[in-house]
Chain A
């Protein structure tokens, strides 16, 4: 019981940072860059993806013994497409403004390789509980990445965060950051900073080891 609880926790947190879908695995890039010109869009896109990922994972893992091996990919795609349609129509009804902003990218969650990848690599081989944990972790990590990316781009490109203006009138917005090139540049710089932190940590650990020896 203790061990299974520990494993469930591990499945949950691995997606948040250690195997973060955007920063580490670099999956699902298209929506991650296309809609993150503000923090709120990042949150909306992230939660829509989280919803689809969670529902499909639950469905696939509970059906995993019934789905024939030969047609499994097509089955996953159809299940995912169904939940994306649900998410699409729900968002359209509940928050039409956000839906307009995200445009076709809600529908394009279907071809997000992150979701299909998790079904193939995890949900089809694990119990429903574990699959739910994995989906929550990966979806959460995805949302986290999109929100931080969107937040940074919004601060630099528009001088605001979640629509609240942070600086006075003297602030000159760095408009390029909320335009398409800004997405590539910002994610590139974030990856660069993460690589730098990782290397600095590794060096520090090495130095500690040497001093101990």
Chain B
């Protein structure tokens, strides 16, 4: 009971209270880059969850068995692991489900440079999460990322059709929308003690 409560706290904390995109500013490139259509935004979110889960597992293995001896190699080891994980996931999906592979297209390899993934591995280490906690944290962070992407894409599709001053069109408006979303997410602060 104690453990499951803690896990729920980690999950909600990563998804809503400290949403990776809107509170920590991680993964802003896809957030502004691919949120012009709802469909692609959602699929990219799912691919991110998948990569995050695998990264979390790999980071835990690395941390527990290898990096205790060479802590200064952490950053290099993580980034190499993430790059190869993404490559591996890409080959795997291509083999198993060509349809999904085509649907994801260029966004799949681009996940490598999504800072949310590296941040996930680093946070997991610095907070001392174990295997199970790490996986739940990855799931929550991924769900939060997907939520942010989908919300943003929905708002942008609406904004596309509305009458907006020409000066505001483009990045400036997207930033203001993101600011308001972030403001809304601050309402979650304090949930579960606001910690984690």
Chain A interface residues toward B at CB < 8 A: 26, 29-31, 33-34, 74, 77-78, 81-82, 84-85, 88-89, 104, 107-108, 110-113, 116, 176, 179-185, 187-189, 191-192, 195-196, 199
Contacts and interface: CB of A to CB of B under 8 A. Distances in A.
Given A111-B115, A187-B175, A179 B75 contact: no
A30 B113 CA distance: 12
Interface stretch (B22-30, B97-105, B135-143): B22-30
Contacts of B118: 107-108, 110-111
B172 A192 contact: yes
B76 A108 contact: no
A82 B182 CA distance: 33
Interface stretch (B43-51, B53-61, B119-127): B119-127
Nearest to A33: B25
B21 to A, nearest CB: 9
Interface residues of B, number: 37
Contacts of A113: 29, 113
Contact of B186 (A104, A180, A199): A180
Interface of B: 22-29, 32, 72, 75-76, 79-80, 83, 113-115, 118-119, 122-123, 126, 167-168, 171-176, 178-180, 182-183, 186
Contacts of A108: 26, 115, 118-119, 122
Contacts of B75: 81, 84-85, 88, 107, 110
B19 to A, nearest CB: 9
Contacts of B28: 29-30, 33
Contact of B171 (A26, A33, A84): A26
30 contacts: A26-B171, A29-B29, A30-B27, A30-B29, A33-B25, A74-B83, A77-B80, A77-B83, A78-B76, A85-B75, A85-B76, A107-B122, A108-B122, A111-B114, A111-B115, A112-B115, A113-B113, A179-B186, A180-B25, A181-B186, A188-B172, A188-B173, A188-B174, A188-B175, A188-B178, A191-B172, A191-B175, A192-B168, A192-B172, A199-B167
B113 to A, nearest CB: 5
4 smallest beta-carbon distances between A and B, as pairs: A188-B175, A184-B179, A185-B179, A34-B25
A184 B177 CA distance: 8
B179 A188 contact: yes
A104 B32 contact: no
Contacts, number: 106
Contact of A195 (B26, B72, B113, B172): B172
B87 to A, nearest CB: 9
Given A30-B25, A108-B26, A188-B173, 19 more contacts: A29-B28, A30-B26, A77-B79, A77-B80, A107-B75, A107-B118, A108-B118, A111-B79, A111-B113, A112-B115, A176-B183, A180-B182, A181-B182, A181-B186, A185-B175, A188-B176, A191-B172, A192-B172, A195-B167
Contacts of A29: 25, 28-29, 32
A108 B122 CA distance: 9
Contacts of A176: 183
Given A113-B113, A196-B167, A78 B72 contact: no
Nearest to B22: A180
